[in-house]
Structure 1
Amino acid sequence: MPDHDTYQRLISLLDDSRVDYKLIDHVPEGATDTVSTLRGHPVSEAAKCIVLRVKVDRRTTRHVLAVVPGDRRVDLDAVRTLFAARYAGFSDAETAERLARAVPGSVLPFSFDPDLELVADPEVVARAHLYFNAARLDRSLRISGADYARVARPRVAPIAGPAPA
């Protein structure tokens, strides 16, 4: 599915859910630190979205969209424990792009694919302002963490690694 379709689906979802959001246009950028600077907010207010492959057992693989604050890393051990799995690691780029329906750097903190389970760290949903690329590298969105939780309905669990010193 092309990026613009995912973008339109997101905007329709937010409009239908009566979410107060702000669109922010910027030069194309997908790196969390850099795009946070372009948008003019602390990196901690960004939603970093990573597609993971979680092997529950030898026959069962699940795909997880992990959402953590932009200044944190995904704690793979926490994800593995959360799913009682043998392994948790990063998905390959092709699978991530197919499931997220967006190119790397523009992955939404929403899942529009039933095979992609959404898990957000509690710090993400607690943010007054949450920023993320809107399935495009040249446009971002700002919404509240509460609206994000209400509309995206992620599983909320501590999956972020420690904050940097």
Structure 2
Amino acid sequence: MTPLFDKLVALLEAEAARFRVCEHPPEGRSDLVAAIRGTEPGQGAKAMLCKCKDDDRTLVLAVLPGDRKLDFKRVAAAAGVKKATLASPEEAQRETGCVIGAIPPFSFSSNIKLIVDPELVERFDEIAFNAGRLDRSMVLDSVDYVRIAKPLLQSLCV
């Protein structure tokens, strides 16, 4: 297991969350992993680490439905900065401890602001995400996710 995967399981168990773990072949693309785990593409919590152009210290973990596209202007507005862009794969791994595609929709760093598009948790009763590794997913009750992660809910999609 990985430390982040173990940390997620421990957090969800401690919070009495309704979730299950799915083991599957390594996959980072949201459409392909949804088919593997038997969920809808829109249930997938696509977590994208963004950095702010005018403030290098501001990082945002933008989380949106797996079948939607991120609007960087909305990310910037939600974060209160002028311009946001995607962090490089190297920056994302350094800041989250995960490769792109394995970043879960949780922030365990005070440096990373968690912003979630409300459509993700309003469309489905459960969300699905790679849990810190490409070969393990979690399917988590949407209400439990919002209760535990405490994200800022803001529209982020095009």
TM-score normalized with structure 1 length: 0.90
1:83 aligns with: 79
How many Å separate the matches in 2 of 1:68 and 1:14?
Answer: 20
1:151 aligns with: 148
CA RMSD after TM alignment: 1.3
> What residue identity is the alignment partner of 1:42?
E
> What residue identity is the alignment partner of 1:30?
G
Deviation of residue 77 (structure 1)?
Answer: 0.9
Give 1:92's match in structure 2, choosing from 88, 94, 98. Answer: 88
Q: Equivalences for 1:53-92 in 2 at 5 Å?
A: 53-55=51-53, 57=54, 61-92=57-88
Q: Equivalences for 1:10-159 in 2 at 5 Å?
A: 10-55=8-53, 57=54, 61-126=57-122, 127-159=124-156
How many Å separate the matches in 1 of 2:22 and 2:56?
Answer: 40
How many Å separate the matches in 2 of 1:142 and 1:109?
Answer: 12
Number of residue equivalences = 157
Which consecutive residues of structure 2, in runs of 5 or more, have no partner in the other structure? Answer: none
Deviation of residue 16 (structure 1)?
Answer: 0.4
Query: More displaced, 97-106 or 26-35?
Result: 97-106
How many Å separate the matches in 1 of 2:16 and 2:110?
Answer: 23
- On the 8 A contact 2:126/2:140 being kept in 1, the answer is yes
- On the 8 A contact 2:73/2:84 being kept in 1, the answer is yes
- On the 8 A contact 2:60/2:79 being kept in 1, the answer is no
Deviation of residue 61 (structure 1)?
Answer: 3.8
How many Å separate the matches in 2 of 1:81 and 1:110?
Answer: 20
Q: Secondary structure at the match of 2:9?
A: helix
Deviation of residue 123 (structure 1)?
Answer: 1.1
Deviation of residue 60 (structure 1)?
Answer: 5.4
How many Å separate the matches in 2 of 1:101 and 1:82?
Answer: 24
CA distances 1:66-100 after superposition (whole Å, capped 9, x unpaired)? 00000001111111222332211001111111222
How many Å separate the matches in 2 of 1:84 and 1:22?
Answer: 35
- On the 8 A contact 2:47/2:105 being kept in 1, the answer is yes
